[in-house]
Amino acid sequence: MSADGMILTAERVTKRFGGLVAVDSVDFTIPPRAIVSLIGPNGAGKTTFFNMIAGLYHPTSGRIVFEGRDITGLPPHRITRSGIGRTFQNIRLFQNMTALENVLVGRHGRMKATPFEAILRTPRERREERETREQAKALLAYVGLAGKEDEFAKNLSYGDQRRLEIGRALGTEPRLLLLDEPTAGMNPQETAQMTTFIRRLRDERGITVLLIEHDMKVVMGISERVTVLDHGTKIAEGPAETVQRDQRVIEAYLGRARTA
């Protein structure tokens, strides 16, 4: 844990794409075991910010510190192995692999067997494979996909694919989980289920969650703190109720009221 007691600290993080400033000098912190949300209208820079934490983009300037370690500019696989898991806004499962195999790939960074051991099928390698399969099955059961281990990802229903993506991310043993619009395209009932599930992740597994949401209503129930981005800058931050009433937030979402 870092000196300020935060699991993640982003300092003045900026990302420029050519002339466009997608994220402009954003300060952001996540306390441990919290569920925090990042919201904002389309094109506000939420996903860009998210991808910088996950290592897909390198910040143009600024610094990101995870558990006291500077992770700015590390490649995605190193960031994942350091304890940050993620899902994608537009589901990116390995479509032609089974549900179990998807979670097994998630376990990749936590496994130790070398290709050489795999060729020789050493007892250690076989034990690791067996144990990992058990863990993966348990994870699938946890996300509600028991009995669907051998289904190909592409044949799963939309809701199940979302669950599988979370299961796969859990396979990486994250302490911080980044969820990019986990309820996108879901009906109200599925959304409610997903919201409950996210809370369970925190309560039962102690995982800190950063949620990106487009939809204000979803985040209100579960997040302790909401950060609002608009045009790449942070325009509001605080408890959901306060943010909801913030004049600038309302303007960002609905536009400025015409004054006479």
Partner 1 sequence: MSVEEIATVKSEAPEGRERKLVIGVIVIGLALALPFIDSALRLNLGTKLIPIGIFIILALGLNVVVGFAGLLDLGYAAFFAIGAYTVAFLTSPSSELLRALGAPPIDFWLAMVVATAVAAAFGVILGAPTLRLRGDYLAIVTLGFGEIVPLVIRNTPQWTRGVQGMNPIGTPTVPGVQFGVATEPWYFLVVAIVVLSVVLTARLRDSRVGRAWAAIREDEVAAASMGVNPVSTKLFAFAMGASFSGFAGAVWSSYLQFIDPGQFDFSVSIFVLVMIILGGLGNIYGVIAGGIILGSFDRILADTISDVLQTIGDATNIELLRQADVNRARSLILGLALVILMLVRPEGLFPSARRKMELHAAEESEVEAAQQRSTLYETQR
Contact 35, 101 (CB under 8 A): no
| Comparison of 97 and 141: residue with beta carbon closer to partner 1 | 97
Q: Which two tokens stand for residue 129?
A: 């494979």
Q: Which two tokens stand for residue 42?
A: 């389309």
| Comparison of 154 and 200: residue with beta carbon closer to partner 1 | 154
**61 counts as binding partner 1 under rule CB under 8 A:** no
**121 counts as binding partner 1 under rule CB under 8 A:** yes
| Comparison of 81 and 214: residue with beta carbon closer to partner 1 | 81
| Comparison of 136 and 249: residue with beta carbon closer to partner 1 | 136
- DSSP H or E run through 79: helix 76-81
Least distance from C-beta 76 to partner 1, angstroms? 4
Q: How many residues does the chain have?
A: 260
Least distance from C-beta 214 to partner 1, angstroms? 21
**80 counts as binding partner 1 under rule CB under 8 A:** yes
Contact 223, 37 (CB under 8 A): yes
Contact 66, 176 (CB under 8 A): yes
Residues 6+ apart with CB under 8 A from 204: none
Contact 168, 103 (CB under 8 A): yes
Q: Contact letters (x/-) for partner 1, 100-119, by CB under 8 A? A: -x--xxx-xxxx-x-x--xx
Q: Which stretch binds partner 1 (CB under 8 A): 8-16, 87-95, 197-205, 210-218?
A: 87-95
Amino acid at 189: Q
Q: Contact letters (x/-) for partner 1, 2-41, by CB under 8 A? A: ----------------------------------------
78 closest CA partner among 49, 101, 56, 46: 56
- DSSP H or E run through 126: helix 123-142
| Comparison of 11 and 101: residue with beta carbon closer to partner 1 | 101
**96 counts as binding partner 1 under rule CB under 8 A:** yes
Considering only 12, 58, 92, 205, the residue that binds partner 1 (CB under 8 A) is: 92
Q: Which stretch binds partner 1 (CB under 8 A): 97-105, 137-145, 202-210, 247-255?
A: 97-105
Residues 6+ apart with CB under 8 A from 170: 85, 103, 106, 139, 142, 143, 177, 201, 205
Which residue bears the tokens 């809701």?
159
Residues 6+ apart with CB under 8 A from 168: 93, 102, 103, 105, 106
Considering only 54, 198, 211, 222, the residue that binds partner 1 (CB under 8 A) is: 54
Q: Contact letters (x/-) for partner 1, 146-185, by CB under 8 A? A: ------x-x-------------xx-xx-------------
**81 counts as binding partner 1 under rule CB under 8 A:** yes
200-259 residues in contact with partner 1 (CB under 8 A) are none
Residue 109 per-residue DSSP state: G
**97 counts as binding partner 1 under rule CB under 8 A:** yes
